[in-house]
Structure 1
Amino acid sequence: METDLTFFLIGIPAVILAGISKGGFGSGASFVAAPLMALILPPEQALGILMPLLLLIDGVTLKPYWKRWDARQTRLLLIGAGPGVLLGVLFWQIANQDMLRLLIGVIAIGYVAIQLLQRWYPPRAARAAPAWLGMLAGAGSAFTSFVSHAGGPVAAVYLLSQDLSKTGYQATTVLVFGLVNVAKTIAYGFLGAITLQSFLAGLWLVPGALFGAWLGVVAHRAIPERAFFIVTYALLLAAGSKLIADSLN
């Protein structure tokens, strides 16, 4: 695996954006790293390189939000996450590179659509939502997280309707996706997505990931979400469109 100039020009901004998102904006936009990296690498390699980095970001961002999560929502999402990860493993075994490119591209475009719809039609508070809905959201989040590191949007649709505080929402996503990423890392290892080469390549991006995580925690209170997400949406639309075109060609 060659770590050339293109690798660094794409990889460093990608992991910084992932760190900012996971550290301060609910994890959703951390998905931008996967389609960006998949533009220059086979999707399986891109996902394998990013997995340990995302796990590292989870570890360093957990402490600022320790015990500030919503216990009920965390429990429901994690119960559903188990079957979601297993479904991701099954899909991985039948998917080829073009299928992964297509799925990542479609999820990227869908992510932007979901976020825009939420801004135009905000979810109504529903604290008494049935337990099965939280578990279903957990399963959907874990599956999309497994195949494209894109579990944030599914979880966000559910959690934003549960009337959580800003910090409660952030802490819940940090804990849930941190534990999901532990399970994904183990599975990726068995599936051959994480190799010695991918791990060594990812080490070059560790400073960017840590810087992004630190900046995200700071930005949680200091930086308007609007500016951050405008940039993220533009990158996702461009990368998603390119991946779909590449997979169909």
Structure 2
Amino acid sequence: MESSAAFWIAAGLATWFVGASKGGLPMIAMLGVPILSVFTTPAAAAGLLLPMYILADLYAVWLFRGQYSARNLAILIPASALGIGAAFFFVSRVPPEAGKLLVALIGLGYLADALRKRLARDFRPRAADVPRGLFWGALAGFTSYISHAGGPPFQAYTLPQKLPKMTFAGTSTILFACVNWMKLPPYILAGQVSWDSLAQIVWLAPLALFGAWSGYRITRILPERLFFAFVNLALLLLSLKLLQEVAVAWL
């Protein structure tokens, strides 16, 4: 594992991004792995950050206590477990680029549909339902395991529900806390999480916790329309970035 000063600065920044995303700012979660990938492989970067996610999850779940959609979680957590199990079974058969392409198309498809509805002035919220929740939840677990990008499927399912800002953020935080714990055993088996990466927690843990606290505070003070505008912008940027990665890999 790289140990230069530049690496530690990048690791600290990536860890803060991880914590802040758990505090309710999903738009910056995408920055962690790319920053660390300058110094190590994406798989190793993801392995280093997963313990940081789990640590920030513990604090963030406490921060969002009482601010979540119980119905959505009851549907999405079991569904994501199915997706993680399928991804673990098929991971050697599914190219990472295929997973990234799927996530990018989901994100862009949702944004196109949201724009169509906005132009048609169709602002009716859509209720949480089991069939769609099982599909999008399983897809969120699958893509989170393969390419650490479970956000777009989650957003495609929950954003049309027009949940309040803090309920949306709390539901996302609790769901992906469960997803990260479920991903830990297979990541250990795959060698992505090792004693070497776990040792970094001692130095990076305070930044993960500070990130969760500061992300939560920023989420609380952001106007609701601005918050969801940032979420949609992050979804667009993530989708475009994944398309760029797929193009580079395949061309």
TM-score, length basis structure 2: 0.80
Residues 38, 111 of structure 1: alpha-carbon distance in 2 compared, 3 angstrom cutoff: farther
| Residue in 1 that maps onto 2:249 | 247
How many angstroms does 1:71 deviate by?
1.4
| Residue in 2 that maps onto 1:12 | 12
Counterpart-to-counterpart distance in 2, 1:115 and 1:197: 39
Q: Say if 2:140 and 2:150, in contact at 8 Å, map to a contact too.
A: yes
Deviations 1:51-106 (A, max 9, x none): 110011111111121132211111110121121011221243346xxx44x45764
Stretch of structure 1 that moved more, 205-214 or 231-240: 231-240
How many angstroms does 1:176 deviate by?
1.1
Counterpart-to-counterpart distance in 1, 2:194 and 2:170: 31
Counterpart-to-counterpart distance in 1, 2:98 and 2:60: 28
Residues 130, 113 of structure 1: alpha-carbon distance in 2 compared, 3 angstrom cutoff: closer
| Residue in 1 that maps onto 2:30 | 31
Counterpart-to-counterpart distance in 1, 2:103 and 2:36: 13
TM-score, length basis structure 1: 0.81
- The one-letter amino acid of 1:176's match is L
Counterpart-to-counterpart distance in 1, 2:102 and 2:9: 23
| Residue in 1 that maps onto 2:176 | 177
Q: Say if 1:12 and 1:205, in contact at 8 Å, map to a contact too.
A: yes
Q: Say if 2:136 and 2:154, in contact at 8 Å, map to a contact too.
A: yes
Counterpart-to-counterpart distance in 1, 2:11 and 2:114: 29
| Residue in 2 that maps onto 1:146 | 145
Stretch of structure 1 that moved more, 102-111 or 9-18: 102-111
Residues 126, 145 of structure 1: alpha-carbon distance in 2 compared, 3 angstrom cutoff: same
Q: Does 1:168 align with 2:170?
A: no
How many angstroms does 1:15 deviate by?
2.2
User: 1:225 is matched with which residue: 224, 227, 230?
Assistant: 227
Q: Say if 1:19 and 1:57, in contact at 8 Å, map to a contact too.
A: yes
TM alignment of 1:37-76, pairs within 5 A: 37-76=36-75
Counterpart-to-counterpart distance in 2, 1:152 and 1:82: 15
Q: Say if 1:16 and 1:209, in contact at 8 Å, map to a contact too.
A: yes
1:69 match: secondary structure:
coil
TM alignment of 1:103-114, pairs within 5 A: 106=101, 113=108
How many angstroms does 1:145 deviate by?
1.1
Stretches of structure 1 that go unaligned for 5 or more consecutive residues are none
- Number of equivalenced pairs: 243
| Residue in 2 that maps onto 1:137 | 136
Q: Say if 2:76 and 2:138, in contact at 8 Å, map to a contact too.
A: yes
Q: Say if 1:78 and 1:135, in contact at 8 Å, map to a contact too.
A: no
Q: Does 1:86 align with 2:85?
A: yes
Deviations 1:217-240 (A, max 9, x none): 100122453896699679858965
Counterpart-to-counterpart distance in 2, 1:156 and 1:233: 8
Q: Say if 2:141 and 2:179, in contact at 8 Å, map to a contact too.
A: yes
Q: Say if 1:88 and 1:146, in contact at 8 Å, map to a contact too.
A: yes
Q: Say if 1:74 and 1:176, in contact at 8 Å, map to a contact too.
A: yes
Stretch of structure 1 that moved more, 163-172 or 174-183: 163-172
How many angstroms does 1:195 deviate by?
0.6
1:24 match: secondary structure:
coil
Q: Say if 2:2 and 2:39, in contact at 8 Å, map to a contact too.
A: no
How many angstroms does 1:37 deviate by?
2.6
What is the root-mean-square deviation in Å for CA atoms of aligned residues?
3.2
1:126 match: secondary structure:
coil
2:91 match: secondary structure:
helix
Q: Say if 1:20 and 1:214, in contact at 8 Å, map to a contact too.
A: yes
Q: Say if 2:103 and 2:143, in contact at 8 Å, map to a contact too.
A: no
% identical aligned pairs: 27
Stretches of structure 2 that go unaligned for 5 or more consecutive residues are none
